[in-house]
Structures are given as C-alpha cells and as structure tokens.
Structure 1
Amino acid sequence: MRPKIELGISVYLQDFLDDRPATRQYLDTAAELGFHEVFTSIHLPEDDFLKTTAALRDFSELVANKGMHLAVDCSSHELKKIQANAALQEALKHSPVTYLRLDFGFQPADLRAITRDLHIHGFMLNASTMRRTEVKEMVAALRQFSHTLAIKACHNFYPRPETGLGTDFFIRQSACFKDLGIPVAACVPSHNKPRGPLHLGLPTLESHRGMEIDWAARELIATGVVDEILVGDPFASAQELGKLQKAADSPVLVVRVIEDEGVSEAERKIMYGITHVVRPDLSDWVFRSNSSREMAAMGEKLAARDAKLRVPCSITIDNEKYGRYSGELQIVRQELPADERVNVVGRIFPQDICLLRYIAAGAEFRLQRYDGA
C-alpha cells in the first residue's frame, strides 16, 4: 500500500483581488475534495508587490477558515522589503501563514531573523535548485532554531516550454531531501485556465506540460519521492481536481492499455480483474504477473489466436498451448518473435510507457482499458 499523498492548489494574490467570490468557490471545491494546502507567491514580476502583499492577510485568513494551510513563495529580495516596511511586517506577522517557501537568496542567518520577526512556523526549501551539501547545512541550521519548526521541500514549476526538469534529475534532487526525512512536493499543470503570461501550464517535469493532470500525478507518485502534489496553475476545473484526487487515492500503479481486436472476455478478466504482482525473479525480456495464472486456473481455457510479433510494451497472455503457463500475463520489455503459444492482447498506451520504468520486482500494478477519453 502506498503512503498517503497530500494535495494542494495554487491561488495567486492578484487573482484573489480580481475575483474574490471565484476564489472562495475554488477553495471550497478543493477543501471538499480533501485538498489541504494552498500555494501563493509574493515575488511574481508581473504583479504589484505592495498591492498583492497587502492582500496577504485577508487571503491567509480566508484559507485558514477553510481549514487549509498556506504556503507563500518568496525570495530574499521580497523578505528584505517586508522587513524594511513596518506595516507589511506587522501584516505578515499576524497572517496565518503556515510556510514560507524560500525560492532563492537565503542564508541560515537570514532565517533566524525571519523566524523571530515574522512569527514563521515552517519553511519550504527549493527542491529543484539546492545541492545536497546546501540542503544538509540549511536543515541543520533550521533545526537548531527550533525543534518544532516544520520543514518541507517544494520543486519549482516552469512556465516556459523546454525548461522543466527531466525525470532522472528530479528523482536525484528529491532524494537529497527524502534522505533527511524532509517531505517533497512537486507541481502538475491544469489545462482549464493556464496561468499567464505564456498560458502553457506550470509543471515541474517538462514531460508533463501537455499531459492530463491525473496521469502527470500518477508518474510523480510512481517515482516514490513525492509526498505532495500541487496544481501549479490557478482555477483547475472541478473535474480535474476530482481526477487528481482519484489518482492520489489509488493504492497501486495504474497503466492504460489499448486492446487488440478479438480479445476474449476470459482474457479481459485476467487483464483488468486483478491487481498484478511482478514476480520477484525479474527477467530482462518481460515483466511476468505472478497472480494472473492463479486467476486463469479458475476460468475457461484460453484458446490460441493468430501469433504476432511481440514488440516492446505489448501485453501478452499465454494460451492453452503453453500448458501450465496458460493464463500468464506479461508486459514485453524487448522485442520477441511471434509464438503460437502466446496471445498478444494489447499494448501500453503511449503516454503511459514512461510508467514502466517504475515497475520493479514485487511491484503491484493494475491495467485499465483505454477508452479514448
């Protein structure tokens, strides 16, 4: 069983100022679906700093009244402005902000003063840019300030195409924090109202930019290094939030399948009717389901069909000509020749091929028929 994944949304202060009723409704929808965190920022170059920061107290109280936590993104530049402005400092001191997200430019000594002067109870570190040695030093310093100080890490999102993180780098960076017991958050895009000025989505991983919100989330969860998923864009649709909640609540990895023609009901039961467990003795050529033959043994014999070349990412089920192996489901990893004892029943949906890298010995997964939606 996977650990619980926390969920959050983003609401930017200018959007709050422009349409408070819509913001309240969005927070209500997210809270009802079990989202617990709200992300905002006070260092967006396109926003009026004084105007949006002055709105932070009202917004933070609204978030708190919904029973949600607020994380405020900032750089050292904005914090120095606040510390130099008595009115802004007083407003932030009395705002129910759960976390300050430290984008860049901070030293441990700065954070001691911020903790004292602004009554901050938690910090989010930048999971995308800090090096392992910097992480260790910062975490050690923060824990010296207070043993009750909450610490998380949150990755950047990337408005410009071609600048988002690659998966391998993302996993390595996240491990710098996970190894110290620091929870890690990452962002997925919404396609309902992508945020300007580019309106091209706000993902952490570049490969997620055009991806549906729930399937982007499924890959983040599959990496095993993410504890929280934030929707980077504001005002995701209720349907998107519902899909994201469903993905986060899924106990196992789900992979979509495009069926071949002529698949029998007996084969469908094997494909979709059980949670598959990968055998512990992993093969380089196929992923073998340890549970599929047990199910097949309780049903009808599987008739042979036309043999086909087994290309990578094909789904196959051994037929009755394979004797005691009849009913074994496999996902093909390397090209294999056609075999009259093996029925090719489908192939992994192209967008989900990336998920196969997370299937390991003993891993659980379920197959889901792709219906074009």
Structure 2
Amino acid sequence: MTMRHLGLSIYPDHSKFEDNAHYLDLGHKYGFKRIFMSMLEVQGTVEQTKENYKKIISYGNKLGYQTFLDVSPRILNKLGVDYHDLSFFHDIGATGLRLDQAFDGATEALMSYNPYGLIIELNMSNNVDYLNNVISYQANTPFIYGCHNFYPQKGTALPYDFFMECSKRFRKFNIHSAAFVSSSVGKMGPWNVTDGLPTLEEDRYLPIQVQAKQLWATNMIDDVIIGNAYASEDELRALSLVNPYQLVLHVDYVKDVNDIEKTIVEKPQHFRRGDMNSIVIRSTMPRVTYKDIPNTPHDNEQEFKRGDVLIGNDGFGIYKNELQIVLKPHTESRKNKVGSIAKDELFLLDFIKPWTKFKLTSE
C-alpha cells in the first residue's frame, strides 16, 4: 500500500531563505515529508536560479523532505533544459518534476526513464485520457506520480464531482497522487492573487484539518499538501493529528453524557453495518461489548438532527449501548443523545458507506 504523507509549499522567488528554512523546520517537527516548489515564476538567470533553489532544496533534503518542482515547457526553455537531459534538476537535489502542462505522452514516458530516478508528476486536474496515453507509451510507472492543481482565485477551484472523475483515472492505475489544501493565514502563492490555494472549491474556507480529512476520505489522494505559505504552527499541528487512513470525526458532548457513553464513543473501532439504512449510521458492536453495563435515559425526548450521536439506553433491550449517528431527523426515547458531530465536519458523514471504518473523538 502507498503510504500517505503531508506536504507544504514554498516559493523561493517570493521569499527569503531564512523564512523558508524556518518553515521547513516547523514542518519537520510535525512530520511533513514533501515540498511543493513552484518554478513557474522564475525571474533570475539560470545560475542564480540554480544556486537559489539548490540551497533551499538541500536544506529540505537534510530534514528528510522530498522536493517536487512545478515546471512548464516555457520554464524548461528559459533554463535551457532539454527533456532528454534532466541533470539540471538532479544537480539541485530535486526528487521529481511536476509537469504543469502536458507534452504528447511519448515525451512523458521517455522522461520517466531518466537516469537520475527523478519522479515525473503529471497534472491530475483534467478529465481527459492523458494518463492512459502516457502509460500506453510504456512509461516507467513506478516513477509516474499525479498531482492536482491549486486555484488562487476564489470560485475557480474544482467542483467535487469533477475532482473525483479526474482522480479515478489515476487511482485505476494505482498512481501515487496528491492534492492541495489551503491555509487560512498563508498569503503567498505563485501569483499576486491569493484567495487561498485549494484543489477543491468547497474546501477554500474550511479549517485546514477538515480539508485534509475530506481528501483522504475520498481514497483518491495519497499526499495532502498545503498550497499557500506560510501556514501557522497551529495549522501544521492540526494536520499532523489527522489520521490519513481512516475518517476520525470530532464529537461535541452534551452536558449529561456519562462515562459508559464516552467509552462507547471513543474506544471502539467503529464501522457502519453492511445492511445500511438511510436514517442512521449504526455501529453495532458496542451493544455486544458493553451489553451488561446500565445506561440511564437522558437527552432522549427531543427530535434528533443530522450529526447527532446517539446511544441506546436501558429501555432499548438488545439495542442498549448501540451507537448511531443521525442522518435524517427523527425521535426515539429509547436513544440518548450523547453529543453531535462538529458542524464543519457534518458533510463528511457522506463518506461513511456500508462497512466503512471510522473513529470518533472529543479531542
């Protein structure tokens, strides 16, 4: 299985080495592994560019980062780089190249056999038969990755359904993939418009950890990268706490929640029953594990709303201590409301399908 990692972005042509080094130190502290570095706005001479980028890439390499450089045919021409000879990027310490624009398929396939082992990362944000074309030229697929675009202008990032269609083309071939989330404080990107830098438009103003939860919950994305710089330390910490491999939802408890209910919410490995219904998500194992523990009725007379977390009380017979998450409003006095899913995360309930594994936390 492909391991999933966090990444951040730096923009050497818009920033100082010292600021970037400090940011990489912070990212390293919180387990970040990837650097996205845009070369699309390179201004200086070839030698200046080489020196500038090599310095910060070397610093990242010492901290265990992998650096991917965003390039286009125009930038390759400006740097005097022929796609037959990628030694320039090897010499400055890069792990791979992200091709912001496509060549013809045959070129990308040839580049994937470069003698330096540089990874060739393709733009994922187009729903065309591009990847199939590259692979049909017998590309060196372990060295082919995919990475979505980000979008600095509000209103222009990808709609969710289109994002999924694009991503499925890469998942079908099990290509390592990446997409971007947006810091709410970062003001730096490649261009002079900075309304955030997400891949998905619906993510633009969400808390950064919720954005990451969504991308990983799609099971289409391996690496989640912060598009804009510089994210705050709080944002880096919040991302580092997100589980990349299963959805963990935050629960806000009601005042009268009891100890057994807190245990049922936070301790088990929850999964949705395979024989699903449209009213609630049912996690039924707790009713077996905790069948002998009493649970007095409380908060059980109101109408339950989407995202409410319920646990069967002593009046519910065999269903006592079963955990449920409400999808559609209903009333049922044999269930206690113990809390509710955080408002920003309510939309993530759509990712809990039959047999989906998930966890709940109050932290």
TM-score bracket, normalised by the shorter chain, equals: 0.7 to 0.9
Which residue number corresponds to residue 33 of structure 1? 30
C-alpha contact (below 8 Å) 1:266/1:302 kept by paired residues: no
How many Å apart are 1:4 and its aligned residue? 3.3
Aligned match for 1:320, one of 311, 314, 326: 314
Secondary structure of the 1:287 match is strand
How many Å apart are 1:109 and its aligned residue? 4.4
Aligned match for 1:103, one of 100, 103, 119: 100
How many Å apart are 1:80 and its aligned residue? 2.4
How many Å apart are 1:354 and its aligned residue? 1.5
Rounded Cα–Cα distance in structure 1 between residues aligned with 2:221 and 2:299: 42
Which residue number corresponds to residue 150 of structure 2? 157
State the AA in 2 paired with 1:366: K
State the AA in 1 paired with 2:154: P
Alpha carbons of structure 1 residues 154 and 320: separation in structure 2 relative to 1, 3 Å? same
Which residue number corresponds to residue 53 of structure 1? 49
How many Å apart are 1:222 and its aligned residue? 0.9
Which residue number corresponds to residue 273 of structure 2? 279
How many Å apart are 1:93 and its aligned residue? 5.5
Which residue number corresponds to residue 219 of structure 2? 224
Secondary structure of the 1:255 match is strand
> TM-score with structure 1 length normalisation?
0.85
The answer to whether residue 355 in structure 2 is matched with residue 358 in structure 1 is no
The answer to whether residue 63 in structure 2 is matched with residue 69 in structure 1 is no
The answer to whether residue 130 in structure 2 is matched with residue 134 in structure 1 is yes
Rounded Cα–Cα distance in structure 1 between residues aligned with 2:310 and 2:6: 36
How many Å apart are 1:118 and its aligned residue? 9.6
State the AA in 1 paired with 2:136: A
Which residue number corresponds to residue 243 of structure 1? 238
Q: Tell me how many residue pairs correspond in the alignment.
A: 357
Alpha carbons of structure 1 residues 129 and 49: separation in structure 2 relative to 1, 3 Å? farther
C-alpha contact (below 8 Å) 1:75/1:106 kept by paired residues: no
Alpha carbons of structure 1 residues 58 and 118: separation in structure 2 relative to 1, 3 Å? farther
Identity %: 28
Secondary structure of the 2:126 match is coil
State the AA in 1 paired with 2:59: L
Aligned match for 1:265, one of 256, 259, 270: 259
More helix by percentage = 1
How many Å apart are 1:101 and its aligned residue? 0.5
Alpha carbons of structure 1 residues 276 and 67: separation in structure 2 relative to 1, 3 Å? closer
**CA root-mean-square deviation:** 2.8
State the AA in 2 paired with 1:10: S
1:331-361 superposed Cα distances (whole Å, 9 cap, x missing partner): 122222x222222333322211121111112
Secondary structure of the 1:158 match is coil
1:247-290 superposed Cα distances (whole Å, 9 cap, x missing partner): 145x5311122333433333222223333221121112211112
Alpha carbons of structure 1 residues 118 and 83: separation in structure 2 relative to 1, 3 Å? farther
How many Å apart are 1:304 and its aligned residue? 5.0
How many Å apart are 1:235 and its aligned residue? 2.5
Which residue number corresponds to residue 205 of structure 2? 210
> TM-score with structure 2 length normalisation?
0.88
Rounded Cα–Cα distance in structure 2 between residues aligned with 1:31 and 1:206: 28
C-alpha contact (below 8 Å) 1:56/1:92 kept by paired residues: no
Rounded Cα–Cα distance in structure 1 between residues aligned with 2:62 and 2:164: 35
C-alpha contact (below 8 Å) 2:108/2:120 kept by paired residues: no
State the AA in 2 paired with 1:139: I
C-alpha contact (below 8 Å) 2:183/2:227 kept by paired residues: yes
Alpha carbons of structure 1 residues 247 and 303: separation in structure 2 relative to 1, 3 Å? same
1:9-42 superposed Cα distances (whole Å, 9 cap, x missing partner): 1111224xx4212222222232343322211111
Where does 1:171-190 land on structure 2 (aligned, <5 Å)? 171-190=164-183
Alpha carbons of structure 1 residues 322 and 101: separation in structure 2 relative to 1, 3 Å? same
Secondary structure of the 2:248 match is strand
Secondary structure of the 1:297 match is coil
Alpha carbons of structure 1 residues 84 and 71: separation in structure 2 relative to 1, 3 Å? closer
Rounded Cα–Cα distance in structure 2 between residues aligned with 1:291 and 1:89: 55
Alpha carbons of structure 1 residues 156 and 148: separation in structure 2 relative to 1, 3 Å? closer
Rounded Cα–Cα distance in structure 2 between residues aligned with 1:317 and 1:93: 57
Rounded Cα–Cα distance in structure 2 between residues aligned with 1:290 and 1:3: 31
Alpha carbons of structure 1 residues 142 and 256: separation in structure 2 relative to 1, 3 Å? same
